[in-house]
Structure 1
Amino acid sequence: MKFDTAYSVSLDDKLSIYDVRELNFDETAAYDSDKDRFLCPNDACRAAFETGNVLGTYNAKNVNYQRTPHFKNTPSTEHIEGCRYASSHKPAAGESDDAREDNFPSEFVLTRRTYARITPVVDAEGQAPQAPAQTLSGRSPAAVSASDSTPDKTSVFAHPVECYVSNIDHKDKLKAMPLKIGEHSATYWAFFKKIEYLQDNHGLIYWGKIKAIKDYTSSFRIDFEKKVWLDKKPYSVNVYLSKKLIENYRKRKAFLEQIKAAASSERPLYCFFYGVTPALKQVPSKKNPEQTFGVFSANIENLDHLIIREVPMLE
């Protein structure tokens, strides 16, 4: 049984697995998921057991991954009768337990989430604090409540990207799932735009297969395989990551590990980014600086909104 939300004992809050990954790689955060304890996100279920009734994590600390990150039950994890997170729970219509990400956030929030680092008070019986209105009952009705729902907003770019990538062969599903970014609302299918069609609309999530990553030691350029056609002429597309942007990034170590590995990798990789739209620019030729050539290019402004990863279903 996999699910993407759990209660964090150290933060006294419910986190998505993508929140946990963010905190693990954040060099400004004193956090290590291996030292945290994750409990059932169902308030009634969590209240029925001591804090030793923990969940496990999958791909919470791997910089690169192919299979969807998630929380999971351990062999000793217990749940109350009827809890949707129990391994014996039969998925309802629309739920699945395969490798796909089924928890689609309806909004990608551009402001990064902050976490109040509060060590929760544990009562005399070793139980974690619960929402005050919950009834501590082992009966099935208590297992279904408003507090049992998955958060419908996320500030972690990897979450909507994983939803799109792991369901990329389910076009109808992506067309049915709503997504809001800023003031713009559309479907997942409409928001994710292949890089060669970037002229169709601005303010989307652009993505494409990487042709090459140019490593300039302290800065990088990502070249895309597909070209943009304008006035019957093909133009290359790239995005540039500046030295200052990388040096000031709070996840600098993890990012450098990822992009340096990607630059030398022979595996097919894809880049997803949001916040900038490559525009046609004239750049000087290396062989003859007096001559220029056109290229669609953009400077990435926020590394939180850029991802390099594999897309297994496209290969």
Structure 2
Amino acid sequence: MKFDTAYSLSLDDKLSIYDVRDLNFDETVAFDSDQDSFLCPNDDCRAAFEAGNVLSTFNAKNVNYLRTPHFKNTPSTRHIDGCRYASTHKTATGENDDEREENFPSEFVLTRRTYAPKTPVTSPQGQLPQGPEKTPSSRTSPSGSSHDTTPDKTSVFAHPVECFVSNIDDKDKLKSMPLKIGDHTATYSTFFKKIEYLQDNKGLIYWGKIKAIKDYTSSFRIDFDKKVWLDKKPYSVNVYLSKKLIENYRKRSVFLEQIRAAADSDRALYCFFYGVTPELKQVPSKKNPEQTFGVFSANIENLDHLLIREASGLE
């Protein structure tokens, strides 16, 4: 059985698998999911067992993935009767259910989630205890119930993108699932807009197949395959990633690894981004700087809100 949320023993909080991935690649925090223990998110179930009753992760540290990340039970994981995270059966198709994300967040929060460091418990003499507490904390996140939490909000862009990509064949679901970003609420189907239709509305999640990635060593430009038509003329579309933006990014190393691999790849890759809308600009021609040509372009402002990935079935 796969599920989206688990309790982190090191952070004393409930995290989605996308939170875990985000922390694994964040160079500003000391976190390694391989060194953490993840327990059942059901408070009553978790309190009934020792801290060694752990879950495992799937695609928590892979830079690129094709199958949906998740937590899952190990062969030795136990649950109390009635816990919905207990593995009650095995599907005949094995891991095929990994391909679809069922936990749709209803809100993409633009402010990144932060975590308070866990405060060690000290004895009256001021010394650290020799062993861990017998029962993990049953603290819950603010948006969760006292027993069981599937996050209704996320600040990790990959989560709504995975919901859209892995359910692309279920148009009715995408048209029915609500999503809020800032003050704007719509359905997933409405929020995700193909790049060639970016003139239809601003403030959406734009996406499209990548034609090329221009590597300028310290900055990058992503060119999209589809063109935007305006006044019966086709215009190219691109987004620019500046040197300063990349140098100050908290996940700089993994980002550079991913985008340079993407630039050299012959696979079909897609780019998703939020926060900027490409506008028609006149840029000078390289061959003749006195001449200009039109292109829809935008400077990405937040790399947390940009994602490059494979996405089978989109086109």
Normalised by the length of structure 1, the TM-score is 0.91
User: CA distance change for structure 1 residues 199 and 119 in 2, over 3 Å: closer, same or farther?
Assistant: same
Q: 2:138 aligns with which of 114, 126, 130?
A: 130
Amino acid at match of 2:232: K
* Residue number in structure 2 paired with 1:4: 4
Amino acid at match of 2:182: G
Following superposition, the deviation at residue 120 of structure 1 comes to 6.4
Report the aligned-residue RMSD.
Answer: 1.9
Q: Say yes or no: does 1:103 pair with 2:113.
A: no
1: distance between equivalents of 2:191 and 2:101?
A: 17
2: distance between equivalents of 1:291 and 1:151?
A: 52
Unaligned runs of 5+ in 1: 133-144
Alignment of 1:8-157 (within 5 A): 8-88=8-88, 97-118=97-118, 126-131=134-139, 147-157=147-157
1: distance between equivalents of 2:212 and 2:244?
A: 22
Following superposition, the deviation at residue 109 of structure 1 comes to 0.4
Q: Check whether the contact 2:279–2:298 (CA below 8 A) recurs between aligned residues.
A: yes
Alignment of 1:290-309 (within 5 A): 290-309=290-309
* Residue number in structure 1 paired with 2:167: 167
Q: Check whether the contact 2:13–2:139 (CA below 8 A) recurs between aligned residues.
A: no
* Residue number in structure 2 paired with 1:233: 233
Amino acid at match of 1:213: I
What SS does the aligned partner of 1:267 have? coil
Identity %: 82
* Residue number in structure 1 paired with 2:187: 187
2: distance between equivalents of 1:161 and 1:36?
A: 26
Q: Check whether the contact 1:120–1:128 (CA below 8 A) recurs between aligned residues.
A: no
* Residue number in structure 2 paired with 1:178: 178
What SS does the aligned partner of 1:294 have? strand
Amino acid at match of 1:225: D
What SS does the aligned partner of 1:245 have? helix
What SS does the aligned partner of 1:85 have? coil
Amino acid at match of 2:134: G
* Residue number in structure 2 paired with 1:314: 314
Following superposition, the deviation at residue 125 of structure 1 comes to 6.9
Residue deviations 1:179-218, cap 9 Å, x none?
0000000000000000000000000000000000000000
What SS does the aligned partner of 2:254 have? helix
Q: Check whether the contact 2:238–2:298 (CA below 8 A) recurs between aligned residues.
A: yes
Q: Check whether the contact 1:10–1:120 (CA below 8 A) recurs between aligned residues.
A: no
Q: Check whether the contact 1:108–1:153 (CA below 8 A) recurs between aligned residues.
A: yes
Q: Check whether the contact 2:43–2:146 (CA below 8 A) recurs between aligned residues.
A: no
1: distance between equivalents of 2:313 and 2:286?
A: 38
1: distance between equivalents of 2:115 and 2:133?
A: 27
What SS does the aligned partner of 2:75 have? coil
Following superposition, the deviation at residue 84 of structure 1 comes to 0.8
Q: Check whether the contact 1:100–1:163 (CA below 8 A) recurs between aligned residues.
A: yes
Q: Check whether the contact 1:9–1:119 (CA below 8 A) recurs between aligned residues.
A: no
Amino acid at match of 1:187: T
Could you list the structure 1 runs, at least 4 aligned residues long, displaced by more than 6 angstroms after superposition.
Answer: 122-125
Normalised by the length of structure 2, the TM-score is 0.91
Amino acid at match of 2:49: F
Amino acid at match of 2:196: E
* Residue number in structure 2 paired with 1:140: none
Unaligned runs of 5+ in 2: 122-128
1: distance between equivalents of 2:133 and 2:300?
A: 51
